[in-house]
Amino acid sequence: MRRIETLDGLRGYFLVFMFINHVTFTGGLFMRYLNHAQLGFVEDAQGFVFLSGLLAGMVYTRRMNRGGFSAGARALWRRAAELYGYTIGCIIVVLVLREILPGAPRIWQGWLGEIGHGGFGAHVAAAALLYQATFLDILPQYIVYMLAAPMLIWLVVRGRAAAVVTGSLVLWLAVQTGLHLPLIDAINVGLKHLSSKLFLRVPFNVLAWQALFMIAMVIGSLMALDRLDIRRYFDVRHAPIVKMMAISLLFFTALRLGFTFGLIPGDVTARFRMLENRAAFSPIFMINFVIAAYVFTWVMTAGKEVADARVRRLSQFFTWLFNLSFLRLLGRHSLQIYAWHVVLIYLVFWVDKQVGPFTQFEKTLITLFGIALLALPAVYRERRAAKTRLPGGETTRSSTAG
């Protein structure tokens, strides 16, 4: 199927800002405050997971619809195995660097925890993705989602999309109400049998964050099956609704800035924090993401046709930004680059502790250099694919298998 280049650009944008958010310097990095997440509760990781689910639904539903369940399932499970290889490869590379670089064991101790020196039990837990190194974040999630995706996509193909969405929301609600806690306790008990120092160490609750991926996957699947005309939901006539949604986002922006600058009373802050759980993708994040996703998509699609010149200019700016060739390059190889970004983050942290501290100007230059280095896997993969092209513009089977 034809690639939607704007979606590639969006994923590339999210990769760049995830790198900026993850890179760690003594004294902090000013560039981190340029992110839209500083103005609300919508983060790059959310958009990245959602877009990946959308594209998975679009791509693998077509395969399944043409070749049956087995055709799509084999491709999805191969993808899960590939992602598992990237995850384990990241851990191995970091552990090798830990043995080579002076001071790395001390510098990375907090990020690796028991991995590398916790014995056989820690290695088993890490291999099972139950005890994760810091900043692996999204990769282990995707493995679980890809393993579950074939049956769910097949249900959509068979006309059971509503059941898939309902099940996804029920799982999300189960996490919000704490029904998953006995499962976590059971996993922790099992890990204690491997080592007394082990516990479930994951940045995101996979049962909560799956709502982003799975609902997006259903949308992508329905689009691939021509059962959903997405344009009807983003019409110019919906401008009044979009205005109300934008105002609600401004409300949350005011809240966020109030918390940042200490303007919100302590009892209000305490009440709000009960609803703000990033790891569990709590209601505050879900509500903000749904609203922001709709407003953004409407501006990108219908915004260019509205009478308000400000909205038209904003639509044109978004179109230009998310079609930048560098961002599209990153987005075409997003998961490989995410794995590579983990290694870069560890290296930058080591450099900061061994050579730094740096000035804000120096930290900005290092960060920009790191962003440029993000493209290395993409450049390598595209050059390798170009070498396998046959005369006439066709490609070999190996070059298109990904």
Stretch 279-291: mean pLDDT:
94
Confidence of residue 401 (pLDDT cuts 50, 70, 90): very low
CB neighbour class for 191 (10 Å; exposed up to 12, middle 13-18, buried from 19) = buried
**Phi then psi for 389, rounded to 5 degrees?**
-70, 140
| Whole-Å CA distances, 16 to 13, 133, 215, 345 | 5, 20, 25, 12
Reference 378, options 319, 343, 337; nearest CA is 337
Write a three-state SS string for 85-97. HHHHHHHHHHHHH
Task: Quick: pLDDT tens for 100-146.
Answer: 999 999 999 999 999 988 788 999 999 999 999 999 888 999 999 99
Percent of the chain, pLDDT > 70? 96
Q: Examine the pLDDT at 179 and tell me if it is beyond 80.
A: yes
φ/ψ bin of 348: left (φ > 0), alpha (ψ from -120 to 50), beta (otherwise): alpha
Say how far apart CA 45 and CA 42 lie, in whole Å.
9
Find where tokens 């569990």 sit: 280
Stretch 363-367: mean pLDDT:
95
Q: Where are the alpha helices (DSSP H) in 24-103?
A: 44-67, 69-100
Find where tokens 């502790």 sit: 353
Q: Examine the pLDDT at 397 and tell me if it is beyond 60.
A: no
Strand, coil or helix: 57? helix
Do 164 and 156 contact (CB within 8 A), yes or no?
yes
Q: State the DSSP string of 1-28.
A: ----HHHHHHHHHHHHHHHHHH---TT-
Stretch 332-348: mean pLDDT:
93
- The residues facing 131 across adjacent strands are 201
Q: State the DSSP string of 150-205.
A: HHHHHHHHTT-HHHHHHHHHHHHHHHHTTTTHHHHHHHHHHHHHH-TT---B-SS-
